Each structure stands twice: as C-alpha cells, then as structure tokens.
Chain A
Amino acid sequence: MKRGYWFYISVISAALLYIILLTLGGQTPQTEQLKDKRIIVVLKSVEHPMDFWDVVKTGMQEAGRESGVQLEFTGPPHEQMVELQIEMFYQAVEENPDLIVLAAGDYDLLKQPVEYAHEQGIPVLTMDSAVDSDIPVSFVATDNLEAGVKAGEKMAEIIEARGLGRDAGIMIMSHSKGTATAIEREKGVRKGLEGYNIIGTWYCDIEYEIAYNLTVELLESEPIDAIVGLNEVSALGVADAVYDLGLGGEIPVVGFDNAARQMASLEAGVLEATVVQRPYNMGYMSIKQAERYLLGKSVEPEVNTGSILITRENMFQPEYQEVLFPFEKLEQ
C-alpha cells in the first residue's frame, strides 16, 4: 500500500459525500440551470394582429416564469414585413443568445438567416410557421393540415345538413399565397371537402378590405353557396360581406382563428364554425421544447399543439372560454 494513499481516498470520499448529499438533500431543479440561459423570440408580428401573438407571448412568458429562463421578444409590427423580420433575426443572432425561437414570416426567405444562425452556433427553434430547412431543432405549431381538414369536414357537414348538395359552390378565401400556414390549411380544407365542388381560391394578402370587397364582388359574379376563410382577417372579411349583403345564415361561412368580432359573428350565426389554434399552448410548449434542448434532453422534431373546432354550441364551454377569450393582462 502506497503511503499517502489515504489523502487521495479522502478527497474521493469527500467528493462522494458531496455527491450523496447533493442527491439526497434536495434535487437540483432544472430551473437553476436555466436561469442564466437567454432565449430571443423573433415573432411574426408584435403589434398586428394583436390577439394571436399576444397570447403566444403570454404562454411563452408563463413557461419562462416557471423555469426562470430569460426571454426577449422582438418582431416586426406587421406580419407582412418579412424583410424587417429577417433584419431583426440577424440582430438577434448578433446578440449571441443561447437559442432563438422563430415564427418565420416566410417559408423560403428565412431559410438563409436560419442557416447563418446555425453557422454561428446558435440553435433555432421554429414555431407556428416553419422555414424550408432541417436546421431548426424543433417545430412547434398547429398542424394546419389537420386544422384545415377539421374546417373542411365541418363545411361538408353543414352542406349536408342544409341539403345544398355536392355541387354547391365552395369558395376559399386564403390570406396569403406563400405562407406555409395558408398552403397547409388550404390543402386540409380541400381534403376535408373531397368530392365537393370547390370553385376556387382567392387571396386577400392579410387585408380585411380586400377580403370584404373580393367577397362582395364574387358573391355577385360566381355561383357561391359556401365560403371558407383561412385566417382571422379573411374569415372576418368574408363573414362581414355575407352579413352586409343580408346573406347571413344563408351562405355558411367557416373560418379560422378567434378574434372577438369573429366570436360575435359566430354568435350571430353568420360564421358557422371556426377552427382555433392554441396559441397559448404553442407559446408555452415552444419555450418548453427550447428548454429541453438547452438542457440536452431529447426534443421532438415536430410538436403539434392542436386545434379546436368551435361552433355556436360549444363556444362558451368552460374549457374553451379562455382559448377564445384570453385573459387580459394584469398590471403588475
């Protein structure tokens, strides 16, 4: 036995003791490890339309509150300002955070910035809208295809219930030509309405007026019996046009999202149904996934936060109330 061996054994024993005490005397919460992590969230829009992104942000903040991870929010004022978002994304990369959460304003245009972040060693997690890249560690979003199918099937159900027949003309009002959400939803709607007479898809470029005017025009020129609006503004524009033309209840409208006015329209019987996402869950889970990634845990490549079909009948059910009517923020 070498002399002085006990010195090493003492050190080893002390280390062992420390480890035992650490494991027995209280777990190290992961929040400890996350407190000095910084995540920058680049949203599609921080001002308009407020509701959806506000709720996303609330969900993110709730997740951050739980874990103590530092969150910073940035994003252009309007969803259409893709170039500004790209600029803001590069800015976020320069700040060298531990991770960037991105809701991509454009499927193709954000590809290069994401690759740049990857080169800089900053992981990117996408939420709500994807980019054309395998780089993001995870994509947390509503399965828009599934949501579209829900809307399409509901429309089919309405058409059947009203006896409009298979050749009833269905119009799709989409909000954007290039956005992944719009493409997926349309695909889903068409899938849900397979065998029905979809006469065409029109685009409003996320402008309420365009949706409204286009609908008024088309209702006069085209044989339209039912309309699907693929997001908040397109659904609202369509519903308002239908209502203003006195066709409320006659031409069924199925939409997406849950602006307060859509809810009123739903109550009033113009909007027959709306498929809503769970923006709160989306925000919450995207941050949770980001945290998992930062802790080195396994992260699923795609997380579906789900969607709900809301009709007049279930809109005031307790479990949906907060999805449809988010809490106001309290002043701290």
Chain B
Amino acid sequence: MIRKLLSIFSTLESRTYYIFAILILLTILSTQLISYYFTQRSLVEVTNTQKGYTMERLAYQIDAYMHTMEAIAGAVSSDDQVQSFFSAPGESLPVPRDDISDFLSSFLRAREDITTIALFGFNGKTITSSPSEKISPYVDVEDQQWYQEAKENPDSTYISSAHVQNLFFGEYPWVVSMSMVFHDQHSGEPLGVLLVDMNFNRIRELCQPIIQEPPEYIFILDESGDYVFHPQQQLVFSGITSEPIDRLMELNDLDDPLEIEGNSYITRTTDSAGWRIVCVTELYADIDQWRFVQVSYASIGLVAFIVVGMVASLLSRSITRPVKELCTVMQSVDKGNFDITADIDSTDEIQQLADEFNIMVRKIRDLIDQIHHEQESKRKSELKALQAQINPHFLYNTLDSIIWMSEMERNEEVVLMTSALARLFRISISKGKEIITVGDELQHVESYLTIQKMRYREHFSYSIEVDESLKHYPSLKNILQPLVENSIYHGLKTAEYKGIIRITGELQGDMLLLHVTDNGVGMDPEKFNHILSEDFTGTNVAHSGVGLRNVHERLRLYFGQDYGLTCSCTPEEGTIVSVKLPAKRSFQEEE
C-alpha cells in the first residue's frame, strides 16, 4: 500500500509537480491566514473603536440623564415648601400635604420617564407624587435597599439596579431608583430620604440605538457585578446562558476588548451609577465577505495549481523526452546496432550526456571493428595452417620416379609426369588464392591422380565424371586431393584387387556436392565422424585422419557450419566421401 502510494512520486514529473503544488499550497495558505488575521484584526479593531465611541456616548448619556435626575432631586429637596414641611417639628403641617404632592406630580407630568418622586422624612412624614393612600400597606420603606443605602451614605446619591418597585400596591413598574438624604438648607440637618424612580424603559431605550445587528447586544452590571439589566435576564438567572462576569469586572474602559469564544466584549463605566455597560459583539460577523475572500483564494489556488501542473509537466517532459529518446537509442545499441548516433536537441546537460554517449558508441564500434579484423586475420592464418601441404614424400617419390624413368629413357612418361607435377603445383599455388573453380580443382586432383597412377600402375584406375556446367562453381582449393590421397593410401594400397576411384559431382538445391568414391577396404562412418568431431585430437600428420579433418575444418571455416565433409559406406559401392559446397555462381574471395 505504502509502496503504491509512494509510486506516485516515482516520476520526475510527479515529483516536480508535487513539490511545486505543496509550495503553492503553503504560500496561499500562509498569505490567506496572515491576511485573514490582519484584516480580521483591523476589522475588529475598527468596529471596536466605533463601538467604544458609541459606548462612551451611551455612558455619557446615562450620566447626563442621572445628572438631570439629580438636578430634579436637588430642585425638589431645596424647595421652600418641602424644606419647611419636613423641618417643621412634630406633627405640624406648615404647608398642606396636597400642595407638595401637586408640586411633586408636576415633575411627573413634565417628565414621563419619572414614575415616582417620594420623600420619607425621618420625622415620620411621607409625601409621594401619587396619592399617599396608594402606598402599599405591606411594604416597610425602611427595609428597602434604596432607603437603607441612602441613609447609610448621607452625603452621596445612591442609584439602584433595575428592579420592580412595589411601593404602591398593585403596581409593579420596572424602575431604577435614585435615593439620597435631603438636608435642611439652613441647619444642614438631615431631614429624610428622597426617592426618584426612573422608568427603566428609558434606560433601555438609551441602549437601544447602539444595538445594530442581531449578534450584538448590551447588558449592564452594577459595581458589585450583579446584573442591572440583561436582555436575556431570565436565561441568565436560570443559568441557561451566562456571561464571563469575573473577567468583565477586571476589564477597564480603555483596555483592549475581551475576546471569549468568538465574542468580543467592550465595557464602559458610567461615573454616576458606577454601572458597567457591556457590549457583546460576535467576532466573525462579516462571514459573508469572508466566504467571498475564501472562494477567491481557492480559485486563485486552483488556477495556480493547474498552471503549476502544466509547467511541471512541460518542464519534466523537456527533461524526460530527450532522456527517453536517448534511452531508445541505447536500446537499439543493446540489440547490436552500433551505427546509430543519438541526435538529441535538449538542454546542455542532456546534450552533453548524448554527446558522451555518441563518443562511447563510436569507440565501441571502432573496438568491435578492430576485433572483427583481428578475428578475420586469425581465421585466415588458421586456414593457412590447415591448408594441406603436398606431402614431401610424394614429391620425393615422384621426382625419384622421374629420375628412374629418365634413366630408362622413357621420355614420354617423364614429360607426362613432370607436366602433371607442374600443373599440380601451379594450381596448388594459384597465385595464393583460396578460391578456385571446381574445374581447376578437378585438374589439380587429376594431376595428382595421373602421377599416382603412373607410380601404382596396376593398383587402381580412376574416373572423373563431373558435368561441365558444374565446373564454373567456385571451390576451395586442395580439397579433393587429400580425399583421393586418403582413398589411395588407406583404401586401395592394401587391397588385393584393383581399385577404382570415381569423382562425381551433383547439384542438390543450393548445395554443390562432390563425391569421391572408392572400392577400397572402406571406412567406418563412425570412425569418420569421430575424426571430424571437435574432440579429435590427433595431430600426427601421417595419421590417416588429419588430412580429412583439415579439409572439413577449412570448408566450415570458409563457408560456415552447414558445409564440410560427410561419409557413407556401403559394401556394394564402397566408401563415398562427399564435399558439401555452396552452389554459388561466383564467390568473391575476401581479402
């Protein structure tokens, strides 16, 4: 499996491609990620800066609003009627209660966002903007947080979280309570607690405009980290959703936004109430645009991959094509064709390789030619070595016979024998040619037979019956003489009867056969084949077989393995030794 996987990296083309492709992939990925990161960063920063400004404005608006409320509270508490009403001792009512009540409710009429203004004197007097009988009998004002907070810190203004005001029975408005201790303007004596309830919706309305998109919302925490308001208040209180309050409480107004789980938190604190306004924005809100960027990067990647694929393919092909061509050339050299040169048009490196290859092939060819040449001359020298020489005994005996005939003054016979000897040598020499015509070869053997016939007058007779048409065929010289010699010395000399030697010729297909037939003692074909076989080691020239073997070898060396000598032996016809020659009209003798 792994091997199979690795095999896709096996070619130059694929390797080039993969390397380039991986490089491109990494490049695009890193550029994309870097640009994504920075764009995202800057986008987030821009929105955060904008958010920061909006939040600051919101905090400012809330502060301004609270200041207005404080101003109203100040106007109420410093009012002469109010002052005299509460500073009057005991149960006395210097000002009618309704007058003050009217005064208070005039503020409510002017400002819809104030739900209640109420004054709770430490002397037990109470005046509210609503008719006082509506005050819930079930509520003890002194238990209320806004009352206690104001009383404990008489010099500061308390602003509550958003809560349900249950001061008036049966009414449960959501308010933010502002409470403070009001003082006698002359003596500075604390007179009671002033309560201004602001409709909480007013504050929610203030927050509203900065909420733009669904994944964005605002919630408010008070100084101790409790919720003043959260749009999902119920989910928060029942634990279905939660906000990272601990970390938000550590966050300062000017800090970088807190980023948790894909949300960005910005806070601004109001001076007046100490509220922490938190704006939550989803970090990846602009996903549509990012999708577009990603698609375009992927498209760029696709184009780049395809271009790289093409380039890699072309590049590697420009390398592999000449290499493949060179390879083909090399393969034909493998098969023995050395006459080829690699003609390759390519880069310098491959060109150099091809050139070197060509030089190498040329050198090999030269070497092969040289070896060929050497073999040829070796073969020739071998042939020479094998060429049967005229037996010196034969020459001596012949010359002896001539001398003897001369003494006997048998001149005619002397002439005959001498001329036969001369002809024998002439053909034997043949200007050093190896190839002579069949006719010449027959003359050669006839000369030999003439001489031998004169010497062994009664021992044998001979006949040469070769058709004239065969005499033009080329033949190796000195092939028949050793056969005839063999017949005489080993077949006939010892025979009790008169021997007959017949030389005949025939065409058999593309083969020319010359037969030497004798009726001598015969030769065992097995022995004959043994003589011709490779493992015959007899070297004695006198040995009967050497002459035959040399002829056989010469024929094979010269014409090939299909040619040579064969032998058949029958009691009726005697021994037939046949010479197989190629039946070619002409045979160019090699130099």
Contacts and interface: CB of A to CB of B under 8 A. Distances in A.
Contacts of B32: 21, 25
Contact of A6 (B17, B136, B172, B240): B17
Given A13-B301, A260-B172, A68 B227 contact: no
Interface residues of B, number: 62
Contacts of B262: 27
A65 B282 CA distance: 13
* Most A CB within 10 A of own CB, among B33, B40, B161, B172: B172
A223 to B, nearest CB: 30
B433 interface: no
Contact of B313 (A6, A22, A267, A281): A6
Interface hub of A264, A281, A322 (most chain B Cβ within 10 A): A322
Given A24-B33, A316-B166, A327 B298 contact: no
Contact of B10 (A1, A27, A31, A328): A1
Interface in B287-331: 287, 290-291, 293-295, 297-299, 301-302, 305-306, 308-310, 312-313
A244 to B, nearest CB: 16
B170 A13 contact: no
A7 B309 CA distance: 7
A119 interface: no
B156 interface: no
Interface in A274-332: 278, 280-281, 284-285, 306, 316, 318-325, 327-328, 330, 332
A313 B140 CA distance: 13
Interface centre among A14, A15, A285, A332 (most CB of B within 10 A): A14
Contact of B170 (A20, A62, A260): A260
B374 to A, nearest CB: 48
B282 A29 contact: yes
Interface string B190-206: 00000000001100110
A271 to B, nearest CB: 12
A29 B166 contact: no
A17 B11 contact: no
B305 A278 contact: no
B214 A21 contact: no
A324 B173 CA distance: 11
A268 B136 CA distance: 9
Nearest to A16: B25
Interface centre among B13, B17, B138, B232 (most CB of A within 10 A): B232
A32 B215 CA distance: 12
B383 to A, nearest CB: 58
Interface string B327-365: 000000000000000000000000000000000000000
17 contacts: A1-B10, A1-B13, A6-B21, A6-B306, A7-B306, A10-B21, A14-B299, A14-B301, A18-B297, A22-B291, A26-B36, A29-B284, A32-B287, A280-B234, A281-B238, A318-B163, A328-B174
Given A14-B299, A17-B298, A29-B284, 6 more contacts: A6-B305, A32-B287, A267-B136, A280-B235, A281-B234, A318-B237
Interface of A: 1, 3, 5-7, 9-11, 13-18, 20-22, 24-29, 31-32, 59, 62, 65-66, 68, 260-261, 263-264, 267-269, 278, 280-281, 284-285, 306, 316, 318-325, 327-328, 330, 332
Q: Which 4 A-B residue pairings sit nearest by Cβ, starting from the closest?
A: A6-B309, A10-B305, A14-B302, A18-B298
